[in-house]
Amino acid sequence: MINSNFYKKLGLDEDLLNAALTRFSEIKDVCEKQSRLLLRGKCKGVLKLDFISRLAVVLYSLPSVYLNYKEKGIDDKIFFDTFSDINIWCANAFDQYGEKGLENIHWITKHLSMKIFRIGRLQFEFSRFLILPHAGIKNIIRCPYRLGEKCITLHIPQGEKLDNDKCIDSLQRANEFFKKYYPSYKYRCYTVITWLLNPDFRTVLGEDSNIVKFANMFTLLGYVPDSDMNERRVFGYKKDRKNYSPENALQRYTLERINKGKPLLSYNGFVKKNLFNP
Ligand SMILES: CC(C)(COP(=O)(O)OP(=O)(O)OC[C@H]1O[C@@H](n2cnc3c(N)ncnc32)[C@H](O)[C@@H]1OP(=O)(O)O)[C@@H](O)C(=O)NCCC(=O)NCCS
């Protein structure tokens, strides 16, 4: 049986952890039922619960996910790194809504159903190749990957600098991870959809910035307006516009576009699977 040290390894705030563990003893039946669904990637029922109850169901589900990891032989380190994201999303929920617990259950369901893993600095998700609007016909023709083919989408968790060596290490380790634990999953590239690939950042931040070095690893393939997410990522989840006072070039750029009514964009990029292998 898993003891409370297991949950402590997630790095959750102690009061929050205790509140969620208390809630899960109060709503055990709900947790049991919803947990079975979460493990299969279904979170509709949990969306009806308040944030502490959502967190309770997630914590209740974790021992089963841990067993699934153990069955595959996946390292404890990958498990706890992957689920340290709960911490990040509880903090974002508190900033945005002032409520303790977990709001973004859609996202954490991907982790519970083993669709996403954190390997080093980055997260990796089983996915299909996408082409966003404005990709340009020449780029689409030149692109070596087909719309809808299997790929791995990567994500960039907040919480630490985007050190380029760590990103490359992550990509190399992801190759090994998927080869070892998911050998039948054949894919040829990694993709990403993020505001970090904005080509304007080359002049705004300079070539030495982590964000620009990260962006330089990818070939672009289209973009979409994504103002809300961009703004939250740069000014915080509260979106308290009257108190914005830009402290760096990135915030100045973002605020200037907001004030001019220009959309903030997210870009699609791809990189060949083995590009960074030694
Ligand atoms: C991705 C991330 C770690 C990059 O941070 P980084 O390693 O500091 O990036 P850079 O070195 O390129 O930063 C250049 C400058 O922009 C600032 N900056 C970077 N990201 C910032 C952010 N999200 N908000 C405000 N300022 C930021 C840095 O502090 C630095 O300022 P300085 O020149 O005054 O020191 C950071 O943006 C982040 O945590 N983002 C949240 C997660 C995210 O957006 N994921 C992608 C989701 S699609």
pLDDT in tens, 107-154: 999 999 999 999 999 999 999 999 999 999 999 999 999 999 999 999
- Distance (Å, whole) CA 219 – CA 257: 24
Q: What is the mean pLDDT of residues 237-251?
A: 94
Per-residue pLDDT at 224: 98
Q: What is the mean pLDDT of residues 234-259?
A: 95
In the chain, the percentage of residues whose pLDDT exceeds 90 is 93
Nearest-atom index, ligand 1, CA of 156: 45
pLDDT at 96 over 50: yes
Angle between helices 51-72 and 76-83 (to 10 degrees): 160
| Structure tokens belonging to residue 263 | 């959309």
pTM: 0.96
- Cα dist. 155→51, 77, 111, 152, 244 in Å? 24, 18, 12, 10, 26
Q: What is the mean pLDDT of residues 62-74?
A: 97
Nearest CA to ligand 1 atom 32: 248
Q: What is the three-class DSSP state of 193? A: strand
Nearest CA to ligand 1 atom 21: 234
pLDDT at 40 over 70: yes
Nearest CA to ligand 1 atom 34: 248
Q: What confidence category does residue 4 fall into, taking pLDDT thresholds of 50, 70 and 90?
A: confident
Give how far the C-alpha of residue 262 lies from the chain's centroid of Cα atoms, to the nearest Å.
26
Q: In what order do the strands lie in the sheet with 189-194?
A: 116-119, 122-128, 150-155, 189-194, 265-272, 219-225
Per-residue pLDDT at 277: 81
Cβ of residue 168 lying under 6 Å from some atom of ligand 1: no
Q: What is the three-class DSSP state of 192? A: strand
Report CA torsion sign: 105, 176, 155, 149.
negative
Per-residue pLDDT at 5: 84
Q: What confidence category does residue 259 fall into, taking pLDDT thresholds of 50, 70 and 90?
A: very high
Cβ of residue 164 lying under 6 Å from some atom of ligand 1: no
Per-residue pLDDT at 2: 59
Give me the half-sphere count of Cα atoms (radius 13 Å) on the Cβ side of residue 48. 6
By C-alpha distance, which of 60, 51, 34, 58 is closest to 102? Answer: 51
pLDDT at 103 over 50: yes
Average pLDDT, the chain: 96
Cβ of residue 88 lying under 6 Å from some atom of ligand 1: no
Cβ of residue 156 lying under 6 Å from some atom of ligand 1: yes
CA angle 160, 92, 260 (to 5 degrees): 90
pLDDT at 1 over 60: no
Nearest CA to ligand 1 atom 18: 250
Ligand 1 centre from 85 Cα, in Å?
Answer: 18
Q: What is the mean pLDDT of residues 165-187?
A: 98
Q: What confidence category does residue 37 fall into, taking pLDDT thresholds of 50, 70 and 90?
A: very high
Cβ of residue 194 lying under 6 Å from some atom of ligand 1: yes
Which CATH number does the domain 115-272 belong to among 3.30.1370.10, 3.40.50.450, 3.40.50.1370, 3.40.630.120?
3.40.630.120
Q: What confidence category does residue 276 fall into, taking pLDDT thresholds of 50, 70 and 90?
A: confident
- Distance (Å, whole) CA 84 – CA 86: 5
By C-alpha distance, which of 195, 197, 196, 177 is closest to 187? Answer: 177
Q: Which residues pair with 99 in a beta bridge?
A: none
- Distance (Å, whole) CA 103 – CA 47: 8
Helix intervals (H) in the chain: 4-8, 14-26, 28-39, 51-72, 76-83, 85-97, 105-112, 137-142, 164-181, 201-205, 210-215, 227-235, 249-260
Report whether 43 contacts 58 (CB < 8 A): no
Q: How many CB atoms lie within 10 A of CB 226?
A: 17
Per-residue pLDDT at 186: 98
Q: How many CB atoms lie within 10 A of CB 96?
A: 15
Per-residue pLDDT at 8: 87
Question: DSSP class of residue 143?
Answer: -
